[in-house]
Structure 1
Amino acid sequence: MTTLSVTPEDGLLDEPRRIFVKGLQPSQKVELSTRTLRGNGQYWVSAATYIADASGQVDLERDAPVSGSYAGVSASGLLWSQRPEVSGAADVFPDDVLQPLVTQISLEGSETSVTLIQRLASEGVTRREVRENGLVGTLFTPPGVGPHPAVIVLNGSGGGINEPRAALYASRGYAALALGYFKAPGLSPYISNTPLEYFVAGLAWVRREVRPAHDFVALSGQSRGGELVLLLGSMFPEAVSAVIGYVPSALVHGGQAAADPAVGRDGPAWLYQGQPLVHLWNDNKTASWAARDAGLRNAESISTALQDHDAVRRVAIEVEKIRGPVLLLSAGDDAAWPSALFSRMAYSRLKEAGHPWPVQHLSFEHAGHTILLPNIPSTNSVDGTPAANAEANEQSWLAVKAFLDDAVNAPAAEGA
């Protein structure tokens, strides 16, 4: 009798799964297919064909497909290689992050199937919308009395409120505030002229409302949010316990593609005390948007601005002022901007300054700009390869969990 199993069937998004078929004939070809309901009511699918071993078994932890949606050995290949049934669908996470992603895995040519359940929020995680003190976000709190260490999650040029990452942080023991700063209810639709005092208020709110364990509040930011967390850590070091920069910049940038048209892409993104922060495009002698305007990668236009070394020096973020550990996660095939170069710049500056806290830089050479979470589709990026993007999704999250655990336990041990 042929049986198909997944272990565990139900668990958190970041939990590895084992997909296994037994009871086949030796060397029998078998096709497995998947179908998952994701955001905006859209289904994502994949399929691959495998050859059973001499015992009539197929084990995705061991066996590569001979054809199908992905190549090579990958236990989660059927998940990260999914593509939308309807072209153009992009939301890989559920509309409600408290609800699980449900994947049907089927053995083609039979009625054999199994259901795989992935949860962003573990049992007991609570969700609270925050609309106070001018702040707009969502707080996810782990189960249990606490206190819990805290993380503030900041999105990039897409704006909005990053609930999926915050929910998974909470599932791993962190009170996580997904803080919107544009393209969120009641906020500007543009990044232009965002006051840094807004984030200072967010840090104070978390300390007041969450009362985090060991007074630990980390910042986790993606892309423009990665630039922002380095900037905030350098300008308000007493308020930031640790910094996680996903595909960040070591330099201050202007509004770029997320700018208010009335301000322009060469206008400021950030304000402090009512004044715009000097950014890379200010008085830059070599900067040109010609490549971007011709439909080429944004990173190509950014590279022109880097040729003006005086401009680069003026807007370099003073990361050495951060008073805590720093984790930098970059992509070698980044179409948005050269996050690997930027991360090396920040890393070198920290090391040259003798930064007394741990500093790590993980560069994913063949991955693209969108480094998200493990075991989700990685096929809808304009850069990187799906396999490399999936690897970056998995390995970056493992690194983040270990980094935060070490960062939290270091002050805890000192205070013991």
Structure 2
Amino acid sequence: MLHIARIQFRKMSSQARLLVTPATALVDDKVDITVERLAPRQPVTLHARLLEGTARFQSYAHYRADDTGRVVVAKQPSLGGLYTGVDQMGLFWSMQPSPGQKPGLRLRKKDVSTPFLVDLSVHDGHLDMMEEQNPAALVTTRLERWYLGKGVKRIPLREGRLRGALFLPPGEGPFPGVIDMFGSTGGFADYRSALLASRGFATLGLAFFGYEDLPNDMSDVDLDYFEEAADWLLAHPKVQGHGVGLVGTSKAGEIVQAMATYMKQVSAAVAISSYSAVSYAPLPYKDMVLPCARWMADQIVFTEDGFANVQNQLEDITTEPGIHACIQVEKSHCPIMFVTGEDDINIPSVFHANKAIARMKAHGKTNYTLLKYPGTGHLIEPPYTPHCGFYFHSAFRVYVYAGGVPKAHTAAQEDSWSKILDFLRKNVDKCETRSKL
């Protein structure tokens, strides 16, 4: 059921009213924001604030009421602030760390059992909310933005050496199964897994190093671990048993390409912002070892503020010996989607996707899809996630540039997410009579 948040504030002889529909929604849902009962042509500032742990984010935009005293965010342009023009979700994707926060702060949900709480307020006049300290509000309300949909179950996974969490949509199933992973920062993040489950997939968020009793370094990871995860998920009674889908970002994008190449259990793979070669360390699998392309530390460029540009740190994969590290995706019998940003400063992901596709084309394969986005950096997240141009890499203990331009990057996130969901539904979900969420 949709909820409408209405909190009223009396100003002189009139009332301002703020309506948000829905007030409780998934993070990839759009919301309608309307301000009513303002003075005709009144200038106002809309301000959004979010607190996640100790991290504080905020955004603001300047609007002018129409002749009837209304602001409809989906129809009227922002005249200033952190974005301009007509943008229904601008207050969400344009969020920035509040003043005084540490640099490179990345908004990620650490506990999906709770929502992002967004406090939305309306203020008289056009204000700079990054400088103003608690100006009086005409009206305020609070929104809930969830990764975990109603009825979705989160089940921690400690089975054999597998670590992570399984998310099951509501209902009897069986559901299409997806394994979801992130990259070389290690640890465990399950917000995208929760959102995938909220959209109808039985999703295994899988950690593979730097978490609980897993190896502390990527060099100790083997591909058999991921095959164990695929077999475990396919054996679950609420999961369709024909094959799993894969979603992996950065280092995990390499892994999903390798899984698609060597494992019959895989029905579809999505590689986001990744190399087309095994990087950093060789990857053992059964009775063979997939060779790696070396990371060349002397190619890393550091700025005066100590931030790293690592785009050229991998040895050349077009010549010896780097070419041997290329993943043999031409052997894959399942479709692979490559999601890339043209302004990816972390990995030249467009170059690597094109190299992988060239291998597939050379062998007569057509089972590939390339999504390539201008102005888009490395961290391609679910829709309306604030753009993060650089971040702290916890495994390497250094700030790393990610690239991207906020407005173009957020457009890529919205477009790619819908296409990823469609790709997985088409290639993984075999229960055509079951309604999609």
**TM-score bracket, shorter-length normalisation:** 0.7 to 0.9
- Residue 243 of structure 2 contacts residue 265 of structure 2 at CA under 8 Å; is this kept in 1? no
Report the secondary structure of 1:213's partner residue. Answer: strand
List per-residue Cα deviations over 1:369-415 (Å, max 9, x = no partner): 00111122224534111222222221111111111121135x556xx
Question: Which consecutive residues of structure 2, in runs of 5 or more, have no partner in the other structure?
Answer: 1-14, 125-136, 391-400, 433-437
| Inter-partner Cα distance in structure 2 for 1:37 and 1:210 | 38
**2:310 maps to amino acid:** N
Provide the residue aligned with 2:309 in structure 1. Answer: 297
Q: 1:93 to 1:279 in 2, by over 3 A?
A: closer
Provide the residue aligned with 2:41 in structure 1. Answer: 27
For residue 176 of structure 1, report the CA deviation from its aligned partner: 0.6
Select the structure that is richer in strand.
2
- Residue 138 of structure 1 contacts residue 161 of structure 1 at CA under 8 Å; is this kept in 2? no
Provide the residue aligned with 1:131 in structure 2. Answer: 158
For residue 96 of structure 1, report the CA deviation from its aligned partner: 1.5
For residue 128 of structure 1, report the CA deviation from its aligned partner: 0.9
| Inter-partner Cα distance in structure 1 for 2:316 and 2:25 | 45
| Inter-partner Cα distance in structure 2 for 1:162 and 1:327 | 22
For residue 58 of structure 1, report the CA deviation from its aligned partner: 1.9
Q: Does 1:75 align with 2:80?
A: no
Residue identity over aligned pairs, in percent, reads 30
Question: Among residues 101, 119, 124, which one is paired with 2:146 in the alignment?
Answer: 119
Question: Among residues 347, 352, 370, which one is paired with 2:379 in the alignment?
Answer: 370
- Residue 331 of structure 1 contacts residue 366 of structure 1 at CA under 8 Å; is this kept in 2? yes
Provide TM-score, normalisation by structure 2.
Answer: 0.84
| Inter-partner Cα distance in structure 2 for 1:250 and 1:228 | 10
List per-residue Cα deviations over 1:58-114 (Å, max 9, x = no partner): 222223322212233321111111122341273523331021111111011444122
- Residue 152 of structure 1 contacts residue 218 of structure 1 at CA under 8 Å; is this kept in 2? yes
**1:26 maps to amino acid:** P
- Residue 330 of structure 2 contacts residue 365 of structure 2 at CA under 8 Å; is this kept in 1? yes
Q: 1:288 to 1:183 in 2, by over 3 A?
A: closer
Question: Among residues 406, 414, 417, which one is paired with 1:386 in the alignment?
Answer: 406
| Inter-partner Cα distance in structure 2 for 1:269 and 1:307 | 15
| Inter-partner Cα distance in structure 1 for 2:25 and 2:415 | 19
Give 1:3-402 correspondences, 5 Å limit: 3-38=17-52, 40-85=53-98, 86-88=100-102, 90-109=105-124, 110-210=137-237, 212-213=239-240, 215-236=242-263, 238-254=264-280, 268-273=281-286, 276-281=289-294, 288-292=296-300, 294-295=302-303, 296-302=308-314, 305-306=315-316, 308-355=318-365, 357=367, 359-379=368-388, 381=390, 382=401, 383-402=403-422
Select the structure that is richer in helix.
1
The number of residues matched between the two structures is 390
Report the secondary structure of 2:179's partner residue. Answer: strand
| Inter-partner Cα distance in structure 2 for 1:307 and 1:132 | 37
Q: 1:275 to 1:352 in 2, by over 3 A?
A: closer
Report the secondary structure of 1:151's partner residue. Answer: strand
For residue 344 of structure 1, report the CA deviation from its aligned partner: 1.5
Question: Which consecutive residues of structure 1, in runs of 5 or more, have no partner in the other structure?
Answer: 255-267, 282-286
- Residue 126 of structure 1 contacts residue 141 of structure 1 at CA under 8 Å; is this kept in 2? yes
| Inter-partner Cα distance in structure 2 for 1:280 and 1:41 | 38
Q: 1:323 to 1:162 in 2, by over 3 A?
A: farther
| Inter-partner Cα distance in structure 2 for 1:60 and 1:144 | 36
Ranges of 4+ aligned residues in structure 1 off by more than 6 Å: none
Q: 1:72 to 1:344 in 2, by over 3 A?
A: farther
List per-residue Cα deviations over 1:215-263 (Å, max 9, x = no partner): 2311110000011100111022x11110011112211212xxxxxxxxx
| Inter-partner Cα distance in structure 1 for 2:318 and 2:240 | 44
| Inter-partner Cα distance in structure 1 for 2:330 and 2:290 | 18
Report the secondary structure of 1:392's partner residue. Answer: helix
Provide TM-score, normalisation by structure 1.
Answer: 0.88
List per-residue Cα deviations over 1:14-35 (Å, max 9, x = no partner): 1111212233333321101011
Report the secondary structure of 2:258's partner residue. Answer: helix
Q: 1:37 to 1:204 in 2, by over 3 A?
A: same
| Inter-partner Cα distance in structure 1 for 2:106 and 2:87 | 23
**2:143 maps to amino acid:** L
- Residue 8 of structure 1 contacts residue 18 of structure 1 at CA under 8 Å; is this kept in 2? yes
**2:425 maps to amino acid:** D
Report the secondary structure of 2:227's partner residue. Answer: helix
- Residue 193 of structure 1 contacts residue 271 of structure 1 at CA under 8 Å; is this kept in 2? no
- Residue 338 of structure 2 contacts residue 370 of structure 2 at CA under 8 Å; is this kept in 1? yes
